[in-house]
Copies of this chain bind each other. A is one copy, B any other.
Amino acid sequence: MTTRPVPNRTAHAAVLMFTALLLVCGSVHAGTDPLPSWNDTAPKRAIITFVERVTTPTDREFVPPAERIAAFDNDGTLWAEQPMYFQLLFAIDRVKTLAPQHPEWRTQEPFASLLKGDLKAALAGGEPAIVQMVMATHAGMTADEFQAIVKDWMATAKHPVTGRPYTEMVYQPMLELLAYLRANGFKTFIVSGGSIEFMRPWTQRVYGIPPEQVIGTRLKTKFEVRDGKPVLLQLPAIDLIDDKAGKPVGIGQHIGRIPIVAFGNSDGDLEMLQWATAGTGARLAVIVHHTDADREWAYDRQSSVGRLDTALDEAQAGGWTVVDMKRDWKVVFPFEKR
């Protein structure tokens, strides 16, 4: 193929103009697509349509800004939860760190197995064993002391599979969604089965969600004046289990109104999704379905962590949106991005 030569200056100008045009179009496109890591499939369209309707004053689904409350589960919805809940990995690390101060753990389960490196035996005791580990590592100190420990761990610990810091194991599409909702006047809340004390030290930095918008399982606390200094002490007793039917209870305590948007990923979120869709007017209930064994993990009905069974059936029956991570997300983790 032959081409007519063009004068050099003209060609140069054309290239410059074309580049400029590309840059302009590119930036306009980035400016208009609030969810660039979402494929243009049904969930993205459902989310954008919902947000546009509730924020358009002339639409009959319009919702005043004060009532635009969005609730997000954390484990498996905003960040990963495999090979086990990250908070449990934190508790295991703490048990190892604290072991020298607890000689009795050498013979006491679940600590004994854990310290011998037999995680399976340590977790064989099920929920009571986990609760015991959480109590031993989260209670008996002030809220301030515990926050400092969590911050240290987050700064140094690495995910056992990816080798990434845990705060990088968050979902890029969900970060975009949080920002998009806030830009549209929504107040974003976390409503997690994980503990409130474990999340609050880093949710502002990672998700843009301040501590006062974090709801979670929590320990009882006690105010006391210690050597003239007032402190809030974390006690070895559960005050709220913010999971399953506890999620609407936590929402009632902290928010006092029904969210109009709720995102979850497991049966632990079922009641929250039911609650969010119980109110009148426009409602958006979404389940993040883990379907991508290559980029993340694939699990649902049979999983011991983040089991999604009844809630998946209810999603189909109730017309909730189900996000198929493999099909609907262009990118899963921020570190995949070029």
B252, A143: Cβ atoms closer than 8 Å: yes
**Copy count, this protein chain:** 2
CA–CA, A185 and B257, complex, Å: 24
Contact pattern, A 174-200, Cβ under 8 Å of B = 1, otherwise 0? 000000000000010000000010001
A230 to chain B: which residues have CB within 8 Å? 248, 271, 274-275, 278
Cβ 8 A contact of A232, one of B214, B225, B239, B248 = B248
Contact string against B for A residues 208-226, beta-carbon threshold 8 Å, 1 for contact and 0 otherwise: 0011111000100111110
A248–B232 CA distance with the chains assembled, in angstroms:
7
Are A222 and B249 touching (Cβ within 8 A)? yes
Asked if A331 lies at the interface with its beta carbon under 8 angstroms from chain B, I say no
Within A222-238, which residues are at the interface with B (CB < 8 Å)?
222-225, 229-232
On whether the beta carbons of B225 and A257 are closer than 8 Å, the reply is: no
Residue interface mask A277-289, B partner, CB < 8 A = 1: 0100000000000
Q: Does A204 contact B (CB under 8 A)?
A: yes
A73 to chain B, nearest CB (A): 16
Interface check A23, CB cutoff 8 A: no
Q: How far is the CB of A28 from chain B (nearest CB, A)?
A: 31
Nearest residue, chain B, Cβ from A251: B232
A214 is contacted by which of B245, B249, B256 (Cβ under 8 Å)? Answer: B256
List the B side residues contacting A249 at CB < 8 Å. 221-223, 232
Question: Which residues of B are found within 8 Å of A271, using beta-carbon distances?
Answer: 223, 230
Among A41-85, those with CB < 8 Å from B are 66, 69
- Given A230-B275, A274-B230, A275-B223, also A212-B143 (CB < 8 A): no
Chain B CB within 8 A of A255 CB: yes
A275: nearest residue on chain B (CB-CB)?
B230
A301 adjacent to chain B (CB < 8 Å): no
CB contacts (< 8 Å) of A255 on chain B: these are 211-212
Most chain B CB atoms below 10 A, which of A212, A231, A247: A212
CA distance A247 to B221 in the complex (A): 11
With A212-B187, A230-B271, A278-B230 as contacts: A223 and B196 at CB distance below 8 Å? no
Within 8 Å of chain B (Cβ to Cβ): is A254? yes
Tell me the bound Cα distance from A137 to B11 in angstroms. 83
* Any B CB within 8 A of the CB of A253: yes
Q: In the assembly, what is the distance between CA of A196 and CA of B187, in Å?
A: 20
6 A-B pairs whose Cβ atoms sit less than 8 Å apart in the complex: A143-B252, A211-B255, A223-B248, A224-B245, A230-B278, A232-B275
17 additional A-B residue pairs with CB within 8 Å, beyond A211-B257, A223-B271, A239-B253: A69-B212, A196-B253, A211-B256, A212-B213, A212-B256, A212-B257, A218-B253, A222-B249, A223-B245, A224-B245, A229-B278, A230-B274, A230-B278, A231-B278, A232-B248, A232-B252, A253-B254
